[in-house]
Amino acid sequence: MQKTFDNKLVLVTGGAGALGQGVVSWYSDRGARVAVLDYSDEILASAFPNPSEMHCYEACDLTNRDSCVEAVGRVVRQFGEVSILANIAGGFLMGDPVHETSDETWNFLFDLNTRSILNMSAAVVPAMINQGQGKIINVAARAALAGAANMGAYTASKAAVMRLTESMALELRASGINVNAVMPSLIDTQRNRSDMPDADFSKWVTPAAIANVVGFLSSEESAAVHGACIPIDGLS
């Protein structure tokens, strides 16, 4: 496989999750150095039992700006400037009706799906502006295109990701930075299979398929793409 991302440093949040691991693998296969961020050292060690010298692994609370700034600082000191930020971390809860939504549910979804992007952007974007280049890819959701019963907080948090992506694209394109997002439908993960054992898994979108689109949005071929939110529907 052609090493098209040699000398690129890619920072992947939520890197120990199913989608995060798929994205980490995609970049690793193409020669990138990858900084893998997730909530704890234990989670990272479990997901990556055989550490790679082309990776660094950083525990980081994405909901805390200081934690993000500190983690990015450690990454930069070890590997150099960040070329690509893949904001893969996110969460889902099948909640309650809007009028019964708890503060805990609301805060969990907006912290993990939305605030994490704000915090990582604060930590990474100033250096990208100084570099005069960079790629940022966020993860929204196909479900964010419309409201859904008992999913109000989730769809609202992912719709916010779309609006943040569009706003950042307009703010940063003149600095040579592309900001785009992917919008997966139901992802084929072990957890989703366990939660929905009677579903037709063949129609779900795979982490590898999503990683292909994330990779494209960070490539030179996507240099003219700004503020796109791309649905990835698999075969469903």
84-132 pLDDT, tens digit each: 999 999 988 887 899 999 999 999 999 999 999 999 999 999 999 999 9
Residue 236 has pLDDT above 60, yes or no: no
Task: State the residue for tokens 């939305």.
Answer: 114
Cα-flanking dihedrals φ and ψ of residue 57, to 5°?
-125, 120
Residue 1 has pLDDT above 70, yes or no: no
Residue 11: predicted pLDDT: 98
Sign of the dihedral through C-alpha 40, 8, 121, 223: negative
Residues 6-16 have a mean pLDDT of 95
Q: Angle formed by the axes of helices 207-217 and 18-29, to 10°?
A: 50
Residue 95: predicted pLDDT: 74
Residue 234: predicted pLDDT: 74
Yes or no: say if 165 and 171 are a contact pair by the CB < 8 Å rule. Answer: no
Residue 155 to residue 133: CA distance in whole angstroms? 31
Q: Could you tell me which residues are beta bridge partners of residue 13?
A: 37, 87
Percentage of the residues of the chain whose pLDDT score is greater than 70: 94
162-202 pLDDT, tens digit each: 999 999 999 999 999 999 999 997 676 677 667 677 777 77
Q: Angle formed by the axes of helices 116-131 and 152-172, to 10°?
A: 10
Q: DSSP letter for 110, please.
A: H
40-84 pLDDT, tens digit each: 999 999 999 999 999 999 999 999 999 999 999 999 999 999 999
CA torsion angle 194 199 200 203 (round to 10): -80
Topology annotation, domain 9-232: Rossmann fold (3.40.50)
Residue 143: predicted pLDDT: 87
Catalytic sites, residue numbers: 154
22-45 pLDDT, tens digit each: 999 999 999 999 999 999 999 999
pTM as predicted:
0.94
CA torsion angle 189 19 217 209 (round to 10): -30
Residue 203 has pLDDT above 90, yes or no: no
Residue 22 to residue 64: CA distance in whole angstroms? 25
137-152 pLDDT, tens digit each: 999 999 899 999 999 9
